C-alpha cells in the first residue's frame, strides 16, 4: 500500500534485489514511450532494471542487442549480455552506433571525410576497436560485432533492434559522459521514448 514508485524502490532496497522487472507501460498504456513509473524506475532504481513491453508475447530470448559506446558501463553491458547468452543459448549483436564526425564540422577540415579511402579506414579502425573492446565477452557464445550508422544514437539503436528482430536490448544507464549527477544518460533517456515498440530493455545503472 502506498505510492507505487516509492514502494517498489523501498522493497527493492529492502530485499537487496539485483534486478527490478516492470512493464514499460502500466494501466495508462502509454503509446508515446515508457510510462511514468517505468521511466522513474529506470532513472532512480539502484539495481538493474528490465522493462518488458506488452507488444510481443512472452518468448525465449534468442537475439540480444548489447549497446557498446566504449564506456565502463558498456563493459558491464557486454559482460551481462555474455552471461545471459550462455544461459539462454542466445545470439548477441554487440552494437556500436556511430555517426560520421566530419559531417558535423563547420569549417573546411584538412581531412576530406567524404573520400572513400578515408571513410573506409575510419570504419575499419572503429570495427577493430569494437572487436577489441568486447573480446572478453565473446567466449562461448554466438555473436557479432555490428557498426550501425545513424545521426541519432538512440533512434539508431531502436532501428537496428527492430531491423534485426532483437528480443532484448541491453543499454548502459550512463554512457561516456562524465555527468555523474544526471540520473540517466541521454541515450538511455531516448530509449525510454522508443521502448513500447520493442520487447524489453535493460538499464545497467552505475
pLDDT digits (tens, 9 = 90+) for 112-142: 445 778 888 889 999 999 999 999 999 999 9
DSSP string, 31-46: SSSS-HHHHHHHHH-S
Percent of the chain at pLDDT above 70?
A: 70
Q: What was the pLDDT predicted at 137?
A: 96
Q: What was the pLDDT predicted at 45?
A: 85
Residue 148 CA to residue 105 CA, distance in Å, equals: 20
The stretch 130-156 carries a mean pLDDT of 93
Percent of the chain at pLDDT above 90?
A: 33
| Residues linked to residue 146 through DSSP beta bridges, in sequence order | 95
Q: What was the pLDDT predicted at 171?
A: 84
* pLDDT tier at 30, thresholds 50, 70, 90: low
More confident residue, 176 or 25: 25
Q: What was the pLDDT predicted at 143?
A: 97
Indicate the SS3 state at residue 80. helix
More confident residue, 36 or 168: 168
Model pLDDT for residues 51-66, shown as the tens digit of each residue? 877 665 556 789 999 9
More confident residue, 12 or 185: 12
As given in the structure block, the three cell numbers for residue 5 are 514508485
Q: What was the pLDDT predicted at 136?
A: 95
CA distances in angstroms from 180 to 76, 152, 162, 172, 188, listed in the order given: 17, 22, 30, 13, 14
As given in the structure block, the three cell numbers for residue 141 are 557464445
Those residues whose C-beta lies under 8 Å from the C-beta of residue 142, and which sit 6 or more positions away, are: 85, 90, 91, 92
Question: Are the CB atoms for 145 and 127 separated by under 8 Å?
Answer: yes
Return mean pLDDT, the chain. Answer: 78
Those residues whose C-beta lies under 8 Å from the C-beta of residue 83, and which sit 6 or more positions away, are: none
Q: What was the pLDDT predicted at 32?
A: 57
Whether the per-residue pLDDT at 201 is higher than 50: the answer is no
Those residues whose C-beta lies under 8 Å from the C-beta of residue 163, and which sit 6 or more positions away, are: none
* β 200-204/48-52 pair status: antiparallel
pTM of this prediction exceeds 0.85: no
- Dmax of the chain from CA atoms? 64
CA distances in angstroms from 139 to 4, 69, 83, 135, listed in the order given: 40, 20, 10, 8
* β 48-52/142-149 pair status: unpaired
As given in the structure block, the three cell numbers for residue 103 are 559531417
As given in the structure block, the three cell numbers for residue 68 are 557498446
| Residue owning grid cell 528482430 | 165
Indicate the SS3 state at residue 24. coil
Amino acid at each position: 500500500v502506498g505510492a507505487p514508485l516509492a514502494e517498489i524502490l523501498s522493497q527493492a532496497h529492502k530485499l537487496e534485489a539485483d534486478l527490478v522487472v516492470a512493464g514499460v507501460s502500466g494501466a495508462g498504456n502509454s503509446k508515446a514511450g515508457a510510462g511514468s513509473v517505468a521511466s522513474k524506475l529506470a532513472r532512480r532504481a539502484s539495481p538493474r532494471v528490465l522493462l518488458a513491453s506488452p507488444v510481443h508475447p512472452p518468448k525465449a530470448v534468442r537475439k540480444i542487442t548489447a549497446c557498446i559506446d566504449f564506456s565502463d558501463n558498456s563493459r558491464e553491458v557486454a559482460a551481462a549480455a555474455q552471461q545471459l547468452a550462455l544461459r539462454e543459448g542466445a545470439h548477441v549483436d554487440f552494437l556500436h552506433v556511430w555517426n560520421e564526425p566530419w559531417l558535423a564540422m563547420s569549417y573546411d577540415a584538412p581531412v576530406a571525410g567524404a573520400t572513400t579511402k578515408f571513410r573506409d579506414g575510419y570504419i575499419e579502425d572503429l570495427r577493430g576497436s569494437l572487436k577489441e573492446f568486447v573480446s572478453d565477452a565473446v567466449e562461448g557464445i554466438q555473436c557479432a560485432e555490428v557498426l550501425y550508422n545513424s545521426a541519432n544514437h538512440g533512434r539508431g539503436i531502436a532501428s537496428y533492434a527492430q531491423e534485426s528482430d532483437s528480443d532484448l536490448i541491453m543499454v548502459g544507464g550512463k554512457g561516456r559522459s562524465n555527468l555523474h549527477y544526471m540520473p540517466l544518460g541521454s541515450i538511455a533517456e531516448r530509449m525510454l521514448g522508443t521502448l513500447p515498440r520493442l520487447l524489453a530493455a535493460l538499464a545497467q545503472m552505475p
